[in-house]
């Protein structure tokens, strides 16, 4: 866990640009002096903003947007959680915020994979994939190989819909492929060997749509969970002179 602390009593206003779903709950805090704020990073791409609301002591936690270098997300993000104690807000993060964040990230991964498959269906004739592969085709394959492990894991998690035998075989096939590519990459030092790329391309083109269908079916139950309660904003007192934002960057 990596912690970036802002101890000087102000939350940099630009930091809220990186919060997925800031809303009035967090945006109003830039006008007040705070006891401090911090960004918590798990090393795996999840980043949380932790702050204390100065007028009532409530702890607030929100998720930061995933890096656009790895994933493009659209739409509403996980709603900020709030609680009066550190223990209570940690429980809210575990039970609500992180599961919703993971669900929305996986939906974004699924959307990117589906968009690439739609492009393939419209622009590439079956059995006529050019070689050497065009850069845009290799980039689409690379995105798929980046997202596939997470989508497979989501389909096999405890809250997912039970898999039919045929669906499990689809996941097994891609897991075997990914394991083979990882081993080949380790043996080669870095990157995919040409043979590994050819195999990955063939399996992706042949069964990518089947994987998307399995993932969508297996995760539909968890994506239709109960709606989140609205976080109370409470009525803040009149703020003192606005805290000046620092020049820090994310």
> How far apart are the C-alpha atoms of 110 and 151, rounded to whole Å?
7
User: What is the Cα–Cα distance from 51 to 49, expressed in whole angstroms?
Assistant: 7
Cα–Cα distance for residue pair 196/224, rounded to 1 Å: 37
Q: Which residues contact 33 (CB under 8 A, 6 or more apart)?
A: 9, 10, 54, 240, 243
- The structural domains of the chain, with segments of one domain joined by +, span 2-80, 101-223
Contacts of 147 (CB under 8 A, 6+ apart): 109, 110, 112, 113
C-beta of residue 204 within 8 angstroms of C-beta of residue 147 = no
pLDDT tens for the chain, 250 residues long, are 677 777 666 677 778 888 998 777 888 887 777 777 888 998 888 999 998 888 888 999 999 999 877 788 988 899 999 999 999 999 999 999 999 999 999 999 999 999 999 999 888 776 778 888 899 999 999 999 999 999 999 999 877 888 999 999 999 999 999 999 988 766 655 555 556 788 999 999 999 999 999 999 998 755 544 444 555 555 555 555 544 444 334 5
d(CA 153, CA 146): 13
pTM exceeding the 0.85 threshold for the entire prediction: no
* Beta pairing class for 81-83 and 2-6: unpaired
């Amino acid at each position: 866990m990596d912690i970036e602390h802002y101890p000087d009593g102000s939350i940099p206003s630009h930091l809220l640009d990186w919060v997925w779903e800031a809303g009035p709950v967090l945006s109003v805090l830039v006008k007040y002096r705070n006891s401090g704020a911090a960004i918590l990073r798990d090393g795996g791409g999840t980043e949380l903003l932790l702050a204390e609301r100065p007028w009532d002591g409530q702890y607030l936690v929100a998720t930061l947007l995933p890096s656009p270098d790895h994933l493009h997300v659209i739409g509403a993000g996980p709603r900020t959680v709030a609680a009066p104690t550190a223990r209570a807000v940690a429980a809210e993060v575990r039970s609500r915020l992180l599961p919703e964040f993971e669900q929305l990230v996986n939906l974004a991964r699924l959307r990117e994979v589906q968009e690439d498959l739609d492009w393939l269906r419209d622009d590439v004739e079956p059995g006529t994939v050019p070689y050497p592969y065009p850069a845009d085709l290799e980039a689409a394959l690379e995105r798929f190989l980046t997202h596939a492990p997470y989508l497979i894991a989501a389909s096999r998690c405890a809250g997912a819909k039970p898999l039919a035998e045929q669906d499990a075989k689809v996941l097994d096939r891609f897991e075997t492929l990914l394991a083979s590519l990882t081993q080949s990459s380790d043996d080669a030092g870095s990157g995919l060997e040409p043979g590994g790329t050819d195999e990955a391309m063939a399996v992706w083109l042949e069964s990518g749509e089947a994987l998307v269908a399995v993932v969508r079916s297996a995760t539909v139950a968890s994506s239709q969970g109960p709606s989140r309660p609205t976080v109370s904003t409470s009525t803040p007192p009149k703020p003192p002179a606005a805290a000046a934002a620092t020049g820090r960057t994310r």
